[in-house]
Amino acid sequence: MQFGVFTVGDVTVDPTTGREPTERERIKAMVAIALKAEEVGLDVFATGEHHNPPFVPSSPTTMLGYIAARTERLLLSTATTLITTNDPVKIAEDYAMLQHLADGRVDLMMGRGNTGPVYPWFGQDIRNGIPLAIENYDLLRRLWREDVVDWKGRFRTPLQSFTSTPRPLDGVPPFVWHGSIRSPEIAEQAAYYGDGFFANHIFWPKEHTQRMVGLYRQRFAHYGHGTPEQAIVGLGGQVFMRKNSQDAMREFRPYFDNAPVYGHGPSLEDFSRETPLTVGSPQQVIDRTLGFREYVGDYQRQLFLLDHAGLPLKTVLEQLDILGEEVVPVLRREFDSLRRAQVPEAPTHAALVAARDAAAAGTGAPR
Amino acid sequence: MTRRTLAVVSAGLSQPSSTRLLADQLAAATRDELVRRGAEVRLDVVELREHAHDVVNHLLTGFPSASLRTALDAVAGADGVIAVTPIFSASYSGLFKSFFDVLDSGALAGTPVLVGATGGTARHSLALEHAVRPLFGYLRAVVVPTGVYAAGADWSGDTADGALRDRILHAGAELAEQVDRRPASVGPADPFALTTDFAQLLGGGREE
């Protein structure tokens, strides 16, 4: 099982000091978080993509390419790549390039993005959100899998004899996850292609996740990719930890109360009960996280959100230390002992290359 | 015997509240008429005061608490709805509007609804027709022709048989008739149900 962190990349005032980081500080903090994630033994760093303030990560492959050069092992991903407003041709090119530079340590999570005004800045319309996600992704897959593409669709100019360069590393495209909170069409899309499905699983009740993952698993089997249990599932999660749970609550509360997404609404206690947010001791985080498996089944990737709502970098790095030293080693052991035999690991580049080669050898097809 | 569910939404704030009193009387009149027509009736009363914080939290977070979910499902899955609000500043109360704002869109489409309102004096009575009725029109509910407004003076008569009483019985009979002519509700819609498949999704975005 893979463990990691995902970041929204928000620039938010620290409510306890009134200080707002500069964009430069925030961008450098995101990099520091990624490097720390590798140092403490996590597997994945995923960055959001946004094109409006107060968010900084508008150029994910620039950031991930820089992190790739400074890490050895860390898998670089997105949460999410905007499949609606990005040109699929540019996604194909950018992430194939990143794949080469990072020696295959790359996958992506597709998402639609969520605010209406962003779409027209990129020539699109939020009312076409689902059709854009469907058409653009179908083209993206072809660009990675077919050397020469002739294509005509609804949302972008046609392509004649187009070759997206560089070609994917070893001829194997990056693995793709599809993220959605509550659109069954996206679970269906992930299932159709046999791609991964990632449930946001922060800010929302667990029932959303349970229903979406259940649907995805059922449709994954329907489309012949394996049993429902073999579908590739990732979950988000939001935690804040201190040795004593009372200290965690006290320290996190001002950040919670003023947070951009849920601030000035429900109490920390209510929100912790109604969503997967866990503020407490490392043991409480272990227990809660192991409980996720009870309503989604065995899953392959767990990403934690640690750095939003104005939490200072120093605090976030402390959280990563706790995660790496006390929480993830236990979760790895426990999840491994619980996992049923037929459930696969999340695909890596090496595994996808091996699977491709095995399939080619099995059928005698030329490489 | 047909089983019917009526959701009774009251936005009264004081306790006891005249808004709740009117809602209860409208519910009783509707229930009695449905029972007379051979139905078995369950009343689900939603006191919005008890959900006030959760309604605001839903506006902020985008999802309802468990108890608010129960209330929203009761309204979305009912065979008929009785919705009563105090008139504040020439319209329904903010809490009443916010509750229907967080109800899933389409939840009341085709549902028979009886609207009622209360106020200090009869001067506010047409707010029922100019504000409350269009709200439910927008929600594509089937609003029965008689809306019931009760002013302070309506509760102070010497007998319980005045004009208000007649209007309550008339409105209740109208709602009962609308409920009675429809098949029983199958409950609230499932927002996670897949209503398409991938071939259709892919085909929809493609020019042939």
pLDDT band at A367 (very low <50, low <70, confident <90, very high): very low
Tell me how close the Cα of A221 comes to any Cα of chain B, in angstroms.
Answer: 14
Residue with tokens 């975005």: B205
Domains and CATH numbers, chain A: 2-361 (3.20.20.30)
- The neighbour count for residue A126, using CB atoms within 10 Å, is 17
**A37 Cβ contact list (under 8 Å, min separation 6):** A4, A5, A44, A45, A74, A320, A324
Question: Is B195 in contact with A184 (Cβ distance < 8 A)?
Answer: yes
Tokens standing for A278?
């866990």
Give CA torsion, residues A133, A139, A143, A145, to 10 deg: 90
Q: Which of B98, B192, B197, B206 to mutate to test binding with chain A, by most A CBs within 10 Å of its CB?
A: B192
Q: Is B66 left (phi over 0), alpha (psi -120 to 50) or beta?
A: alpha
Q: What is the mean pLDDT of residues B33-62?
A: 97
What letters, b where the CB count within 10 A reaches 16 and e where it falls short, cover A271-290?
A: bbebbbbbbbbbebbbebbe
Residue with tokens 């459930």: A343
Residue A134 has its nearest CB partner, among B61, B192, B202, at B202
Q: Which of A11, A86, A78, A71 is nearest to A45 (CA)?
A: A78
Residue with tokens 């089944």: A297
CB-based contact B65:B178 (threshold 8 Å)? no
Mean pLDDT of chain A: 96
The distance of Cα A304 from the centroid of its chain, to the nearest Å, equals 10
The pLDDT of residue A342: 94
**A165 Cβ contact list (under 8 Å, min separation 6):** A93, A96
Q: What is the DSSP letter of A36?
A: H
pLDDT in tens, A213-256: 999 999 999 999 999 999 999 999 999 999 999 999 999 999 99
Q: Which of A85, A144, A73 is nearest to A110 (CA)?
A: A85
DSSP A120-175: HHTT--GGGHHHHHHHHHHHHHHHHH-SSEEE--SSS--EEEE--SSPPGGG-PPE
What is d(CA A223, CA A188) in angstroms, rounded to the nearest whole number? 10
The pLDDT of residue B207: 42
Q: Is the pLDDT of residue B206 over 70?
A: no
Q: Is the pLDDT of residue B97 over 80?
A: yes
The pLDDT of residue A365: 55
Q: What is the mean pLDDT of residues B9-29?
A: 96
Q: Which of A240, A221, A238 is nearest to A229 (CA)?
A: A221
**A19 Cβ contact list (under 8 Å, min separation 6):** A13
Q: Is the pLDDT of residue B51 over 60?
A: yes
Residue of A nearest to B54 (CA): A266
CB-based contact B39:B105 (threshold 8 Å)? no
Q: Which of A22, A24, A25 is nearest to A316 (CA)?
A: A25
Q: Which of A285, A294, A272 is nearest to A325 (CA)?
A: A285
> How many A-B residue pairs are in contact by the CB < 8 A criterion?
73
Question: Is B194 in contact with A211 (Cβ distance < 8 A)?
Answer: no
Per-residue H/E/C for A311-363 = CCHHHHHHHHHHHHHHHHHHHHHHHHHHCCCCCCCCCCHHHHHHHHHHHHHHH
**Percentage of chain A lying above the pLDDT 70 cut:** 99
Q: What is the mean pLDDT of residues B101-115?
A: 96
Write out the residues of chain A at the interface with chain B, using a CB-CB cutoff of 8 A: 130-132, 134-135, 138, 152-155, 182, 184-185, 187-189, 191-192, 203-205, 208, 211-212, 215, 219, 223, 261-266, 270-271, 274
Select the more confidently predicted residue: A329 or B204: A329
Q: Is the pLDDT of residue A264 over 70?
A: yes
Residue of B nearest to A134 (CA): B202
ipTM: 0.88
Beta bridge partners of A179: A198
Q: Which range is least confidently modeled, A113-117, A283-287, A322-326?
A: A113-117
CB-based contact A254:A321 (threshold 8 Å)? no
pLDDT in tens, B189-198: 898 999 999 9
Residue B194 has its nearest CB partner, among A182, A215, A262, at A215
**A236 φ, ψ to 5°?**
-85, 180
The pLDDT of residue A220: 98
What is d(CA A313, CA A80) in angstroms, rounded to the nearest whole number? 22
Mean pLDDT of chain B: 94
pTM of the predicted protein model = 0.93
Q: Is the pLDDT of residue A115 over 90?
A: no
What is residue A113's three-state secondary structure? coil
Residues in chain B within 8 Å Cβ distance of A205? 63
Q: Which range is least confidently modeled, A72-76, A114-118, B115-119, B189-193?
A: A114-118
pLDDT band at B162 (very low <50, low <70, confident <90, very high): confident
Strands A149-151 and A159-162: antiparallel
DSSP chain B: -EEEEEEEEE---SSS-HHHHHHHHHHHHHHHHHHHTTEEEEEEEEEGGGGHHHHHHHHHHSS--HHHHHHHHHHHT-SEEEEEEEEETTEE-HHHHHHHHHSPTTTTTT-EEEEEEEESSGGGTTHIIIIIHHHHHHTT-EE-S--EEEEGGGGSSSSS-SHHHHHHHHHHHHHHHHHHTSPPP--S--TT---S-HHHHHHHT---
Residue A184 has its nearest CB partner, among B66, B192, B202, at B192
Q: Is A274 left (phi over 0), alpha (psi -120 to 50) or beta?
A: alpha
The pLDDT of residue B158: 61
Question: Is B193 in contact with A184 (Cβ distance < 8 A)?
Answer: yes
Q: What is the DSSP letter of A77?
A: E
The pLDDT of residue B15: 87
The pLDDT of residue A113: 85
Q: Which of A84, A112, A125, A134 to mutate to test binding with chain B, by most B CBs within 10 Å of its CB?
A: A134
